[in-house]
Every structure is written in C-alpha cells, then in structure tokens.
Amino acid sequence: MDRQPRSGWMRLLPWLRLYRCSICSKMHLLSKQKVDNARLLHAAQVRARGG
C-alpha cells in the first residue's frame, strides 16, 4: 500500500488516509492504524515462513 496525497473533500474524514494497493492498483480509504496493523501482521507471517 502506497500513501497518496489527500483531496480537499478527504479533509472531512481526518481519520482516513488514501492508499493505492501495490498489487491491484485500486485506491482505498483506510485508517492509518489498520494499514499499520496489516503491515505488522504481514511482516510476522513472512518471518514465520522463513522469508
């Protein structure tokens, strides 16, 4: 997930951030906490697999 710049209307939803998926290139409005948790989980799974 790559963070994208906010548009004007997105300032109405300050708890959400715009991200572009690096796999499917779709844009998603997600909370920073959710993205951070998903990144940590993914890193833990990669370490558990020995990668």
pLDDT one-digit tens code per residue, 4-50? 888 898 889 999 999 998 889 999 999 999 999 999 999 999 999 98
The per-residue pLDDT for 34 is 93
C-alpha–C-alpha distance, residues 44 and 15, integer Å: 26
Identify the domain containing residue 12 by its residue range: 2-49
- Model's pTM, two decimal places? 0.70
C-alpha–C-alpha distance, residues 35 and 16, integer Å: 10
Looking at the structure of the chain, the number of domains it has is 1
